C-alpha cells in the first residue's frame, strides 16, 4: 500500500499571514489523520515562514501516524530532528531563500557529506530518505551514502504530464526500478495532484509513500479537507 502523507506547510503559511493560531496547525494535522492520511509532513525553514520549530515540538507527541520532517540538513535542522525523533527525515538541498524545493541532491558529489548526516539519523533510529531527481546515478549514490529511501522529485513529471504522460513518466519508472533493485524504499513528492497521481501510482505501484501539500490543501478549499483526502487516497488504490 502506498501511504499518503499530507504536507501541512501551506496551512501554516495561512496562519502566519494573520498571526495568532488560526488555523490551528495541530488540529488540522490531527484531522488529516482522522480523515485517513497515513502520515504528516512538515518542512521547517530557517525563517519559519510557514512551519515553526515550535510546531514540530507540538506535533510530535500527538500524532498517531507517521511523522516526516524534511529540510536542508543545517546544524540547526539536524539538532531539531535528533531532539524530536520523527519516524522519517527527508534531506532536501534547498537554499534558505528558495520559494520551494526545486532540485534533488547531487548524491555523487555530496556522498561523504550525506553519509555523515545519514549515519547520525540512522544511529538515532530515524528512517532516512534523500530527495533526488529521476536519475539512476543519483539513486545509486543515495544508496551508497546509506539512505533507507529516496524521494523522487516529481515536478518534471507533473509539468510534462498534460503534454505527454508516457514520456513524462518514463525516467521515473527507470529511477524507481533502480531503487527497488538496490533495496531502497521509495517515496515521491512535489506538484503531485488529483490529475496526475493515479497515473504515477499505476506505473510505479511499489511506491511506499507520496507527500502532497500544495495541491491537496488547494483542493480542500473547494472540496473540504475530509473529502479531499479521500479523493487522493482513491488515486492510490489498485
pLDDT of amino acid 70: 97
∠ CA 148-99-37 to the nearest 5 degrees?
Answer: 50
- Find out whether 178 and 170 touch, Cβ atoms under 8 Å: no
Phi and psi for 17 in degrees, rounded to 5? -65, -25
Q: Where are the beta strands (DSSP E) in the chain?
A: 3-7, 39-42, 66-71, 88-91, 127-132, 149-153, 185-189, 209-212
pLDDT of amino acid 165: 98
Residues with active-site annotation: 43, 70, 190
pLDDT of amino acid 101: 59
pLDDT of amino acid 98: 56
pLDDT of amino acid 97: 60
Q: Which domain holds residue 212?
A: 3-234
> Which grid coordinates are listed for 44?
521547517
pLDDT of amino acid 238: 83
Which CATH number goes with the domain that contains 115? 3.20.20.70
Q: Where are the beta strands (DSSP E) in 58-126?
A: 66-71, 88-91
* Distance in angstroms (rounded) separating the CA atoms of residues 66 and 217: 19
pLDDT of amino acid 29: 98
Stretches where the chain sits below pLDDT 50 are: none
Helices (H) and strands (E) counted in the chain, each on its own, are 11, 8
Structural domain count, the chain: 1
pLDDT tens digits, one per residue of 151-206: 999 999 999 999 999 999 999 999 999 999 999 999 999 999 999 999 999 999 99
* Distance in angstroms (rounded) separating the CA atoms of residues 216 and 109: 34
Amino acid at each position: 500500500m502506498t501511504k499518503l502523507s499530507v504536507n501541512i506547510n501551506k496551512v501554516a503559511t495561512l496562519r502566519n499571514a494573520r498571526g495568532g493560531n488560526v488555523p490551528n496547525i495541530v488540529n488540522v494535522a490531527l484531522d488529516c489523520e482522522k480523515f485517513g492520511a497515513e502520515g504528516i509532513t512538515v518542512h521547517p525553514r530557517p525563517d519559519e515562514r510557514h512551519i515553526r520549530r515550535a510546531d514540530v515540538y507540538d506535533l510530535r507527541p500527538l500524532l498517531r501516524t507517521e511523522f516526516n520532517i524534511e529540510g536542508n540538513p543545517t546544524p540547526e535542522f539536524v539538532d531539531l530532528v535528533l531532539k524530536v525523533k520523527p519516524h522519517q527525515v527527508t534531506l532536501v538541498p534547498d537554499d534558505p531563500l528558495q520559494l520551494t524545493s526545486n532540485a534533488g541532491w547531487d548524491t555523487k558529489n555530496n556522498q561523504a557529506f550525506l553519509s555523515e548526516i545519514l549515519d547520525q539519523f540512522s544511529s538515532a533510529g530515524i528512517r532516512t530518505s534523500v530527495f533526488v531527481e529521476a536519475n539512476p546515478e543519483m539513486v545509486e549514490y543515495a544508496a551508497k551514502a546509506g539512505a533507507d529511501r529516496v524521494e523522487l522529485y516529481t515536478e518534471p513529471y507533473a509539468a510534462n504530464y498534460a503534454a505527454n504522460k508516457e514520456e513524462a513518466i518514463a525516467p521515473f519508472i527507470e529511477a524507481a526500478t533502480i531503487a527497488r533493485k538496490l533495496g531502497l524504499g521509495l517515496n515521491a513528492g512535489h506538484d503531485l495532484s488529483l490529475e496526475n497521481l493515479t497515473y504515477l501510482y499505476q506505473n510505479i505501484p511499489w511506491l511506499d509513500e507520496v507527500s502532497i501539500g500544495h495541491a491537496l490543501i488547494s483542493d480542500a478549499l473547494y472540496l473540504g479537507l475530509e473529502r479531499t483526502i479521500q479523493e487522493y487516497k482513491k488515486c492510490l488504490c489498485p
